[in-house]
Amino acid sequence: MKLSVSNLNSHYGPAHILFDIGLEVGEGEVVALLGRNGAGKSTTFRSIVGLVALREGQILFEGKDISTAPTHEIVRAGLGYVPEERRIFTDLTVEENLEVGRQKPRPGSPQWTREKLYKLFPNLGEMKNRPGGRMSGGEQQMLTIARTLMGNPSLVLLDEPSEGLSPKIVEQMVDAILTMKKEGVSLVVSEQNLHFARLISDRAYIIERGRICFAGTMAELDARPDIRDAHLSI
Amino acid sequence: MAFYFVQFLTGLASAASLFLVASGLSIIFGVTRIVNFAHGAFYMLGAYIAFSLTERLSGALGFWGGIVVAALAVAVIGVIVEIVLLRRIYHAPELFQLLATFGLTLMVEDLVVLIWGPDDLVGRRAPGFKGAVDFFGQNIPSYDLFLIVLGPVVLGALWLLFQRTRWGILVRAATQDRDMVAALGVNQKWLFTSVFAVGVFLAALGGALQIPRDAVHHAMDLRIIVEVFVVVVIGGLGSILGAFVAAVLVSELNAFGILIFPTISLILVFLVMAVVLVIRPWGLFGKKEAPARRTPGLTVIPWRPLTSVERLASVVALALVAMLPFIAGNYALTVGAEIAIFVIFAASLHFLMAVGGLASFGHAAYFGLGAYGVAFLAKMAGLPMIVCILLGPLLGALGAAVFGAFAVQLSGVYFAMLTLAFAQIVWSIAFQWVAVTGGDNGILGLWPEKWAASPSHFYWLALGVSAFVVSVLRLITFSPFGYALRGMRDSPLRSESIGINGKRIQWTAFIIAGTTAGIGGALFAYLKGSVFPDNMGISLSVDALVMVLLGGVETVPGAIFGAIVYKALNIWLVSQTDWSKLVLGIFIVLIVVVFPKGIVGVVESVMQRRRAAAPKAAALSAKMEGAQ
């Protein structure tokens, strides 16, 4: 197992957000975490990388317990995180943004270089010296993914990559995710868009009000329209 | 003409050290979000250590090596401070961070006197820069020319450091979004430590480079820190270029201000700062920031007016305290009156800070203005005491109205720095304008009239006014105005979107707080029989902050208890030790680190826990949860 989360509970101050979350990601697998706005997708990711202070439960990454490790150690172990709000450094250029993400090559993880990433996201290669603040939403989304890949992660948590993007950019995003998978990166992708999730993932979890309420393959999910309608449709 | 040019060059030379210190402060703030009050103390330490090293090491190498080694040594001290103290308080509210670093400043001030003695020390001249250059009959020290060149060189070096190195890129990224940098695998702890070390190094270097120009003394920290605050407010906190431009501007204003208004030269700097703030509240080169984050409450105990039982208890307590003259002697009564006056002062600051969310670092200005108001009315106009006490505080109100109008344009640390700078300006007017204020000699012979002259009568007067002021402030807190003010404190955007004129509300609160502080000052003038510039000094402002903090910022009656405990402790401490600053500094740091909720805060949370444990309360809260 690449990543195995069990009995994860998280709190923001007095508010209990996640209840006994359990999920698993196999080597080289792409797993979708589906759910509506506010269901707990982002909090799940933030808890796994240690950005939520109040969390309990077991989180195993490549067999190692990371449930109490500080964020930078989790990330350096090869668990990359792409946040939902993009959060690129707007004052820094594309090149500088990538530099912040750079980590030493890690044996066993796919290696990424600037050149390789510019091939994956050709738009970025054309604006190496542009400040992040003067890029379009789609370009910023590509930059956040590229920036995380500069850390040579073996697993990436990708939070709502298709949110707010035009259909054309979404297509590029699908290609990029499939390329990452082909290179050997495991992925957990949170999504509200079932159509997008179906194009990229092997399996899916559905989260609702901080609890996992479905786990199975995409085919199994398609066989249960009741679940799909209850937890996903708008 | 040559004279003015030389004056201009002198200004540029002074700007070099100011720029070094200000850029260090800016860099540290950018990443850690801490306004390092102790920056002036590091500057001073740099000067003292450089003095000792350059005295012992001979030759040019000894001198320049001594300067650099001194700055490095202070940077190491900074690293220790960061690891031991600051790492514990990065998530504390801004006010706590400012106070903790102020506590550090107090400690350093006493330690410096312990090690190097109280006298001014005159250092060596810089080898190779001992002479002067003749310019159309005017002499320019060649060391000044060296400093003039050094400023832009350091600016360039810092620019390269931040643009061309990985460390610099990480620092710039962390300035924008610390958590994201951690989420990319960077160890924030060491990034913060290294940034702090660089900032402190710059401050200490600034201090060390001053020794050929100025004597080294144990008050140089406060002088520089006020100037540095003015520089970063004008230049924009977080901008190095801004620090450079503003350092030059402020130094030139000082250089020429002395020619134009010899006695009140600081006025000129103040006017420029005011203009900048009106046009660009975030400074010339700063960035407009989102409304300051409000750290989620340390306590979640909601405020409420007193119940009738509690109100009765307060009246009984007041009546008991009023019995003091029947059992205590004159000295105890004088101490009691002083404590009652400081309850007024602390309550007025608490109103501004806790209810208004505006942490003023210069509240003593309005206390002192009230005291001077009384002194002017009594000594110059010869008015009766009762009229003086009624009208004197209006000077505090006036000061608060003028300064408050500027200050409420800002929030958070900018607000704190600006109020501190204002207070320092008021202080320097009182200090410099000898013809009117008597300068350092103050105004003497200000005694109460017969009806209030005996210690017991004056005690009752102070106690009565104190009870009245505290009650009025409480009433305001729980009035619609108080709700609006708390709304602005908790969420400026939401408050304004429901039609509250936020700045006006805050300005009014500032004037209320300034007036009540002035009332305290007016009584204080009669208690002491005199007024001095120190009645509006920084240390008095900080005393008030510590009182509020000790009592508990997030409680309603905290200031009262804080003032009583702190003032009593302070009076006792000063009688016991010569190193009261050192003890006080340690005390402040300990409160911030160990005891951030204050006395009343701790008592309240204990009571809250007990109440929650009671079955009735448990049932109620269960019902409320069910309803949600």
Read off the pLDDT of each residue in B610-621 and give the average, rounded to a whole number.
54
B485 and B462, same domain (yes or no): yes
Q: B621 in helix, strand or coil?
A: helix
Same-domain pairing of B607 and B581: no
Q: In A, which residues are within 8 Å of B166 by CB distance?
A: 99, 102
In this prediction, residue A8 carries a pLDDT of 93
Instruction: Say how far apart CA A17 and CA A187 lie, in whole Å.
Output: 23
Does B184 contact A90 at a Cβ distance shorter than 8 Å? no
Instruction: Find which of A115-129, B247-261, B540-554 is predicted with most confidence, using mean pLDDT.
Output: A115-129
Pair of tokens at residue A119: 């091939």
- The answer to whether B195 and B25 are in contact (CB under 8 A) is no
Cα B449 from chain centroid (whole Å): 35
Name which of B545, B544, B548 is nearest B600 in CA terms.
Answer: B548
d(CA B443, CA B529): 9
Task: Indicate the residue type of B222.
Answer: L
Q: Which chain B residues are within 8 Å of A90, Cβ to Cβ?
A: 176
Residue A107: per-residue pLDDT: 86
Q: How far is B628 from chain A (nearest CA, A)?
A: 12
Q: B546: closest CA among B400, B342, B407?
A: B342
What is the rounded average pLDDT for all residues in chain B?
87
Domain stops at, among B217, B246, B267: B217
Q: Do A51 and B177 touch (CB under 8 A)?
A: no
Give B538→chain A minimum CA distance, Å: 37
Do residues B211 and B359 both lie within one domain?
no
Q: Minimal Cα distance from B300: which residue of A?
A: A14
Q: Supply A98's token pair.
A: 């990538």
Question: Measured between CB atoms, does A124 come within 8 Å of chain B?
Answer: no
- Residues B425 and B486 occupy one common structural domain: yes
| Residue-level pLDDT at B290 | 53
* Interface ipTM: 0.92
Residue B239 lies in a domain: no
Which residues of chain B does A106 touch, with a Cβ-Cβ cutoff of 8 Å?
none
B479 and B624 together in one domain: no
Cross-chain residue pair B172–A13, CB shorter than 8 Å:
no
Domain membership of residue B478 (yes or no) is yes
Is residue B516, in this structure, part of any structural domain at all? Answer: yes
From B294's Cα to the closest Cα of chain A, the distance in A is 15
**Residue B391 maps to which CATH number?**
1.10.3470
CB contact under 8 A, A71 and B183: yes
Tell me the count of A-B CB pairs closer than 8 A. 59
Q: Which of A41, A51, A47 is nearest to A59 (CA)?
A: A47
pLDDT digits (tens, 9 = 90+) for B31-84: 888 889 899 999 999 999 999 999 998 888 899 999 999 999 999 999 999 999
pLDDT of residue B619: 43
DSSP A133: G
The span from the CA of B188 to the CA of A149, in Å, is 20
Give B321-380 pLDDT, tens digit per residue.
998 999 988 899 999 999 999 999 999 999 999 899 898 989 999 999 999 999 999 988
Residue B491's pLDDT is: 85
Return the pLDDT at B266. 67
User: Rounded to 5 degrees, what are φ and ψ at B154?
Assistant: -65, -40
In a domain, B254, yes or no: no
pLDDT tens for A192-210 read 888 899 899 999 999 999 9
Number of folded domains that form chain B: 3
- B261 vs B509 pLDDT, higher one: B509
B423 shares its domain with B481: yes
Q: From CA A44, how far away is CA A230, in angstroms rounded?
A: 21
Please check whether residue B582 lies inside any domain of the structure. Answer: yes
Among the residue ranges A140-154, B68-82, B441-455, B610-624, the one predicted with the least confidence is B610-624
For residues B6 and B18, state if they share a domain. Answer: yes
Residue-wise pLDDT for B160-207, tens only, equals: 999 999 999 999 999 888 889 999 999 988 999 999 999 999 999 999
Question: pLDDT for B83-134, tens place per residue?
Answer: 999 998 888 877 788 889 989 999 999 999 999 999 999 988 888 888 888 8
Do B288 and B282 touch, CB atoms closer than 8 A?
yes
Question: A76 contacts in B (CB within 8 Å)?
Answer: 185
Q: What are phi and psi of B439, to 5 degrees?
A: 55, -140
Residues B140, B144, B145, B146, CA torsion sign? positive
**Residue B486 is encoded by which pair of tokens?**
């708390």
Same domain, B604 and B538: no
Q: What is the mean pLDDT of residues B435-445?
A: 87
pLDDT of residue B622: 42
Q: Are B181 and B173 in contact (CB under 8 A)?
A: yes
pLDDT at B298: 43
Is it the case that residue B440 has pLDDT exceeding 60?
yes
Residue A7: count of CB within 10 angstroms of its CB: 13
Q: Is B565 in the same domain as B605?
A: no
Count CB atoms within 10 A of the CB of residue B216: 24
Per-residue pLDDT at B85: 92
Phi, psi of A91 (to 5 degrees): -80, -15
**Of B243, B43, B69, B24, nearest to B152 (Cα)?**
B243
The answer to whether residue B626 scores a pLDDT higher than 60 is no
> What average pLDDT does the segment B270-292 reach?
75
> Which 3 state secondary structure label does DSSP give B478?
coil
Of B217, B244, B273, the one marking the end of a domain is B217
Cα distances (angstroms) measured from residue B439 to each of A210, B35, B261, B517:
67, 31, 16, 22
Q: What is the pLDDT of residue B604?
A: 77
Relative to beta strand A64-65, strand A54-61 is antiparallel
In a domain, B325, yes or no: no
Using an 8 Å Cβ cutoff, are B143 and B129 in contact? yes
Tell me the nearest-neighbour CA distance from A76 into chain B, angstroms.
5
Q: Answer yes or no: do B25 and B95 share one domain.
A: yes
Confidence of residue B289 (pLDDT cuts 50, 70, 90): low
In a domain, B235, yes or no: no
* Yes or no, beta carbons of B185 and A151 under 8 Å apart: yes
Tell me what pLDDT residue B450 has: 85
B386-406 residue pLDDT tens: 999 999 999 999 999 999 998
Q: Which residue has the higher pLDDT, B611 or B107?
A: B107
* Percentage with pLDDT > 70 across chain B: 94
Among B170, B202, B217, where does a domain finish?
A: B217
**Domain ranges, residue B573:** 336-596
**Residue A62: strand, helix, or coil:** coil
pLDDT band at B555 (very low <50, low <70, confident <90, very high): confident
In this structure, the answer to whether residues B400 and B500 fall within a common structural domain is: yes
Which tokens is B40 given?
């002036």
For residue B84, the one-letter residue type is V
Residue B294 lies in a domain: no
pLDDT exceeds cutoff 80 at B413: no
| B464-495 residue pLDDT tens | 999 999 999 999 999 999 999 999 988 888 88
Question: Are B628 and B546 part of one and the same domain?
Answer: no
Query: Which of A55-64, B36-45, B458-467, B538-547 is predicted with the least confidence, judged by mean pLDDT?
Result: B538-547
Q: Is the pLDDT of residue A159 over 80?
A: yes
Of A81, A102, A103, the CB nearest to B183: A81
